[in-house]
Chains A and B, each alone.
Chain A
Amino acid sequence: DAGVTQSPTHLIKTRGQHVTLRCSPISGHKSVSWYQQVLGQGPQFIFQYYEKEERGRGNFPDRFSARQFPNYSSELNVNALLLGDSALYLCASSEQGRGYSNQPQHFGDGTRLSIL
């Protein structure tokens, strides 16, 4: 079975530009979460989406936005890129749904975003 897939694998942008990252969850998983991992640190929670709605948001500015599509895939958008946005962006999927307890989150290999 295919795991979580993310594209692109690497991306180079300049300050002020915007970027769109894509994620396809494991088949049957309806919840997608996005995390930012700065080099040498643990991942930090950005969003969780379920049934096309944002269910939770971490401590990130409004420049970060996302959406989820009817097939449960998701896009992360970042506007007005800053040097500090350079990081590995990870997508995780789970069977999490309304009324469920914590379900395991399975990660993709991420998109490495470099800002020049």
Chain B
Amino acid sequence: GENVEQHPSTLSVQEGDSAVIKCTYSDSASNYFPWYKQELGKGPQLIIDIRSNVGEKKDQRIAVTLNKTAKHFSLHITETQPEDSAVYFCAASIFSGGYNKLIFGAGTRLAVHP
């Protein structure tokens, strides 16, 4: 069945360090991979996404890589800041039958310490 595994579940880093979150998906038909940041009391906020025809995408301090063969994708945050502290979710999506649904990982709680 459709499944996304996400690791680690918690991550603690010092301000200025890098943080890496890894996800694995099960359905090889998945072709769109967004990442969301969720702060307390808020809904998930889209921070970056990547499509299956691209191997890497960067946006300032964040980057996402995709290995279709291994069905892995990762989020990299460089020069972390305290405001990066939040829960991060990866997701995989297939567009099929005229609709798409996001299959989410279980989330990674990132804590950035000053």
Q: Write the residues of chain A forming the contact surface with B, with a CB cutoff of 8 angstroms.
A: 4, 31, 33, 35, 40-45, 48, 50, 55-56, 58, 90, 92, 96, 98, 100-110
Q: How many residue pairs, one in A and one in B, have C-beta atoms under 8 Å apart?
A: 75
Specify which chain A residues have a CB less than 8 angstroms from the CB of B105 in the assembled complex. 42
CA distance A114 to B79 in the complex (A): 39
Contact across chains for A104 and B49 when beta carbons are under 8 A apart: yes
- Residue B45 interfacial (CB < 8 Å): yes
Per-residue interface assignment for chain B, residues 1 to 29, with 1 indicating a CB less than 8 Å from any chain A CB and 0 otherwise: 00010100000000000000000000000
Which residues of chain B in 34-71 are interfacial with respect to chain A, using CB atoms and an 8 Å cutoff?
A: 34, 36, 41-46, 49, 51
Contact partner of A101 (CB less than 8 A), chosen from B4, B91, B95, B103, is B95
Contact across chains for B103 and A45 when beta carbons are under 8 A apart: yes
Contact across chains for A44 and B104 when beta carbons are under 8 A apart: yes
